[in-house]
Structure 1
């Protein structure tokens, strides 16, 4: 208690003297009272005065003359341009904790996360991998994790690659940034429209030319790709984001043939392929590629949790050496502790067990949510269920505009996203059929009936009807 009191006294004197110096209550080179005189004047200890003086000295507010004492450092008055003074804008946003219910497509259910197992694996990392933790990690990530991922994607996604082709990153955005740096200047990258808005935002902040390609019933339009002639395209073939389309093999072959003929690259974002209901997983586009034109992006954000911040990229062999040369002095941005813990989770079989458990959990929630939506909305809702991933699309009749629906959802404490979040240009509101993205990973099963009723209130007009 005495120590805290002394600390407060020293900080109070330091703050007061600093303020007096900055407001020019002292002249330049003016001598400060001695420590003893100041202590008597303030009725505090000499040690407190000494601590305050030493802090001011360290920051350059005062200087010393040997055996003479402390003096005020000459300071210019800080210029403050009043027209440059701005206040921080406040935005009408809600954190996750403020929503009563969530239909977010971005979150995961961590209620079943194996916390005890993860902690046990982490302790093993401290015990057996201290050489990794005490040094700067390889820019590609620990070799052991890359080995584990290579085995994982081999039997889960049909991808056969060497660990040297795999790069670990703190997220797919981070990895996409690394990939852009490998490309030549003045290249054009095409994105799906509607598509993942964060990729669009990232590309817009670079020197890369970006163009958008619309979708048809098979996914990204091959005819538009041929007409626009981009150098690379970003696609989500296993579960198009956000529309949910599963790209058939005919379109996959067309894409691969286009890439081979034009020497372009296909960037496959395989963000939630682990969750496929009622049928087996769809093989990755990378597994079809025979000409090294596909770059694969995978993540653990959907299978484990976004907060883990571990994703990975698999490069064609023809880009590996270029990546190594350009990044030989780069320090990676992911947590080496989390990466090594994840490796043990995969290696010892805990990861697969967890995925199977979550697959069952998400499958039950998805089925129950669809049932509740159908019962509540009847013919007024059209559910575009592709039986994959952690979200699906619905078309619902509402007289409200997209902007009004988003605003009303916030008013009702319901986290909800419309298709306008993912379109390059907002849709016109001349149709009464509105497209909503319904995520079911975060919401608890017992919350679903009330959440669906809350959704009905959001899209219902003041007369109480949905029409």
Structure 2
């Protein structure tokens, strides 16, 4: 069909459909024959035939052999004026984050050095080599190739020894947590660090699980409160506590493992940004220290590669694997097989490790520079909790403004900024000095001085 023929067919089809929906025809009323309508409109019979066939396919008309085309019996569509919308409210929501001129967000990653050409090349290879696998319904644990790559990666980087069947690949950490919760009775009590990851807390609450809020001390999650409240699952971020940044000491890790072993409870280890350590070696993961199958490990590629890639993974203790397989054997993986297989090649060919090394140098440079500027350019002294890990740190300040006022002032100054207020379940501000989360991954070098000057106005300015 030529462009002109397609235009004519569409014009006939759209006009007839509109007239039918506007009830300009009666139910079962006969339409003009193809020849008659074509002659009346001075178009080809084929254009009319194509329009009629599309209307038949969509159920607007029907045909009787040797009698012609007739209008289907259609009820009038109810239109409630009060429920009409022009969609403006959605446009506003889509655009609401675009007004930030400066950022100190802990959620951003830097994509300036991502090897997009290498990724695209590998993706093309996957498409050529794995068409059979790409055409299949995705396996619910994720492609075996990626799980094998992850098994080698965590063995090398985190000292974790596991079978590929223990690894579940999912579309983000939150999605994996939802899978995990289905393996446990809703009467289970879940411990979460306070302050801690707000989205995760909300997600667990939405599944109607009871939460025990575990305070922090200088070694990490309070072992005294954990022992007192005895949650069935304890969610923790030991490699770089979120958001305070504490690296859980080895003594606390052993205490936590002993607690879980003695009660046969489980620890969920969220190792969300363990790849980034500056000037120090990685502290062993809880999973690698565990000898009694009490740790569930969560890892993600969102912080190291592309947040939009949405590929994370979970490593289950051996005794939970069968339960998971029974619960989800009829499920389908939500991740893109093409992206998963590309990531597998990216890891196996050494690109991932090279990229992590490169980004570690970049982030260390940004962190050191930002710390120096904060120390010299803020009008009042601040305490910097300069933990050499992850993609954020915190500063303790003595601002005349409340958290709510700081957040509002940051909005006014077009600065994307988060305070501890976002991550506290209840008011525990008396346990901490005023705490500001400083993300440095996506701060532009050339705007770093200016960003700190804006931060100074937000925290200490008198306007």
TM-score relative to the length of structure 2: 0.92
Q: Which residue of 2 aligns with 1:450?
A: 450
- For 2:167 and 2:32, how far apart are their aligned partners in 1? 65
Q: Report SS of the residue matched to 1:246.
A: coil
Structure 1 residues 285-333: Cα deviation after superposition (integer angstroms, max 9, x where no partner): 1112111111000111111121222111111111112222222222111
Q: Report SS of the residue matched to 2:313.
A: strand
105-114 or 292-301, larger mean C-alpha shift: 105-114
- For 2:332 and 2:9, how far apart are their aligned partners in 1? 40
How many Å apart are 1:359 and its aligned residue?
0.6
Q: Which residue of 1 aligns with 2:125?
A: 124
153-162 or 171-180, larger mean C-alpha shift: 153-162
- For 1:18 and 1:402, how far apart are their aligned partners in 2? 57
- For 1:350 and 1:52, how far apart are their aligned partners in 2? 53
Sort the Cα spacing of 1:245 and 1:80 in 2 relative to 1 into closer, same or farther, 3 A. Answer: same
Structure 1 residues 385-442: Cα deviation after superposition (integer angstroms, max 9, x where no partner): 11110001112333333333333333333222222222224677x9996322111112
How many Å apart are 1:460 and its aligned residue?
4.1
How many Å apart are 1:336 and its aligned residue?
1.6
8 Å CA contact 2:397, 2:433 repeated in 1: yes
353-362 or 82-91, larger mean C-alpha shift: 82-91
Sort the Cα spacing of 1:163 and 1:432 in 2 relative to 1 into closer, same or farther, 3 A. Answer: closer
258-267 or 397-406, larger mean C-alpha shift: 397-406
Q: Report SS of the residue matched to 1:190.
A: strand
Sort the Cα spacing of 1:359 and 1:432 in 2 relative to 1 into closer, same or farther, 3 A. Answer: closer
8 Å CA contact 2:392, 2:438 repeated in 1: yes
Sort the Cα spacing of 1:62 and 1:94 in 2 relative to 1 into closer, same or farther, 3 A. Answer: closer
Sort the Cα spacing of 1:124 and 1:458 in 2 relative to 1 into closer, same or farther, 3 A. Answer: same
8 Å CA contact 1:397, 1:432 repeated in 2: no
- Structural mapping, 1:106-145, within 5 Å: 106-145=107-146
Q: Report SS of the residue matched to 1:380.
A: coil
- Structural mapping, 1:65-84, within 5 Å: 65-81=64-80
8 Å CA contact 2:8, 2:47 repeated in 1: yes
- For 1:120 and 1:253, how far apart are their aligned partners in 2? 44
8 Å CA contact 1:420, 1:427 repeated in 2: no
Aligned length: 461
Q: Which residue of 1 aligns with 2:275?
A: 274
- For 1:398 and 1:47, how far apart are their aligned partners in 2? 76
Residues 1:99 and 2:90 aligned together: no
Residues 1:16 and 2:15 aligned together: yes
How many Å apart are 1:231 and its aligned residue?
0.9
8 Å CA contact 2:219, 2:248 repeated in 1: yes
8 Å CA contact 2:399, 2:434 repeated in 1: yes
- For 2:437 and 2:461, how far apart are their aligned partners in 1? 20
Sort the Cα spacing of 1:70 and 1:330 in 2 relative to 1 into closer, same or farther, 3 A. Answer: same
Q: Which residue of 2 aligns with 1:311?
A: 312
295-304 or 113-122, larger mean C-alpha shift: 113-122
- For 1:65 and 1:213, how far apart are their aligned partners in 2? 72
Q: Which residue of 2 aligns with 1:236?
A: 237
Q: Which residue of 1 aligns with 2:27?
A: 28
8 Å CA contact 1:418, 1:437 repeated in 2: yes
- For 1:408 and 1:93, how far apart are their aligned partners in 2? 22
Q: Report SS of the residue matched to 1:275.
A: coil
- For 2:425 and 2:432, how far apart are their aligned partners in 1? 21
Q: Which residue of 2 aligns with 1:357?
A: 358
TM-score relative to the length of structure 1: 0.91
- For 1:34 and 1:410, how far apart are their aligned partners in 2? 65
8 Å CA contact 1:243, 1:392 repeated in 2: yes
Sort the Cα spacing of 1:130 and 1:70 in 2 relative to 1 into closer, same or farther, 3 A. Answer: closer
Q: Which residue of 2 aligns with 1:250?
A: 251
Structure 1 residues 143-168: Cα deviation after superposition (integer angstroms, max 9, x where no partner): 23222222221232121222221111
59-68 or 83-92, larger mean C-alpha shift: 83-92
Residues 1:283 and 2:289 aligned together: no
Structure 1 residues 96-124: Cα deviation after superposition (integer angstroms, max 9, x where no partner): 65432222212211111122222232233
- For 1:52 and 1:459, how far apart are their aligned partners in 2? 66
Q: Which residue of 2 aligns with 1:4?
A: 3
43-52 or 367-376, larger mean C-alpha shift: 43-52
8 Å CA contact 1:28, 1:74 repeated in 2: yes
Q: Which residue of 2 aligns with 1:227?
A: 228
- For 1:87 and 1:228, how far apart are their aligned partners in 2? 51
Sort the Cα spacing of 1:174 and 1:64 in 2 relative to 1 into closer, same or farther, 3 A. Answer: same
8 Å CA contact 2:378, 2:452 repeated in 1: no
